[in-house]
Structure 1
């Protein structure tokens, strides 16, 4: 009986560590109290969802966004390398980076019916705790994201 109770407490304690960030993104953000973000497409800066998303992530993490310059393909490599925490832009469903980065839920959709462009955040693949934080923030600020 005592062994079962001890095992249960050990399992409960381990649950706090899930999901994990193998590269420690969430832990670093909590320690440094900042995260890096850049716009893959500078034209999205005026989209209200961008500011709402960043503010919601700041609220959830207690960290401040540090905006970095840059756009386009170089940001995806920075995400993959861990030099950038978040890239926000409009992406197509068949983005060539879909296997290399994690895309969050769509905040809004534009473009044409044949080629929709989804406004969404991209994060480093595998950093599951950080990805979950951004996904929850996305769903909290966007009715479209909440449906996904």
Structure 2
């Protein structure tokens, strides 16, 4: 089946809503929930280890990052309605949002995580985006 799909030009995994294609050379709409040591906000500047990872991902696809700051709940709702492409914060592998968002593998070696297994969120079903994000996270966080 994979060979048949490859012959048709279908990329696996896919993004039903075309998120990764849209951000290439465009804008990555990122949501940030403040978590000391991982995500800091000073006026309109979003910084910290997780925003640095988002910026590295955006750089890979020649995208600018547009930040929205809010609570986890408001940011997950924005993922669901298509207003955001990625959400970061002190979200752990035990996240209650797993039924409402795509969740990366957990990463324990993020500076500022204090040993917590941190995950990032993307829109549910955008599997190509999720796969490419995990590739970048693996590269950026490798020892």
User: Normalising by structure 2, what TM-score?
Assistant: 0.75
Provide the residue aligned with 1:12 in structure 2.
Answer: 6
Distance 2:75 2:68 in 1: 10
Aligned residues: 130
DSSP-derived class of the 1:119 partner? coil
Provide the residue aligned with 1:114 in structure 2.
Answer: none
Provide the residue aligned with 1:82 in structure 2.
Answer: 82
- Equivalent residue runs for 1:42-121 within 5 Å: 42-43=35-36, 44-46=38-40, 48-105=48-105, 106=107, 108=110, 109-110=113-114, 117-121=116-120
Provide the residue aligned with 1:25 in structure 2.
Answer: 19
8 Å CA contact 2:103–2:120 kept in 1: the answer is yes
8 Å CA contact 1:49–1:141 kept in 2: the answer is no
In structure 2, runs of 5+ residues without a counterpart are: 41-46
Distance 1:20 1:39 in 2: 25
Structure ID, larger Rg: 1
Q: What is the RMSD computed on CA atoms of the aligned residues?
A: 2.5
Offset, 1:122: 0.8
Question: Does 1:132 find its partner at 2:131?
Answer: yes
Offset, 1:11: 4.7
Offset, 1:16: 5.1
**1:80-119 per-position Cα deviation (integer Å, ceiling 9, x unaligned):** 12111111011233322112212223253426xxxxx333
Give the direction of change, closer, same or farther, for the CA distance of 1:120–1:41 in structure 2 (3 Å limit): farther
> Which residue, out of 34, 52, 63, partners 2:27?
34
User: Normalising by structure 1, what TM-score?
Assistant: 0.73
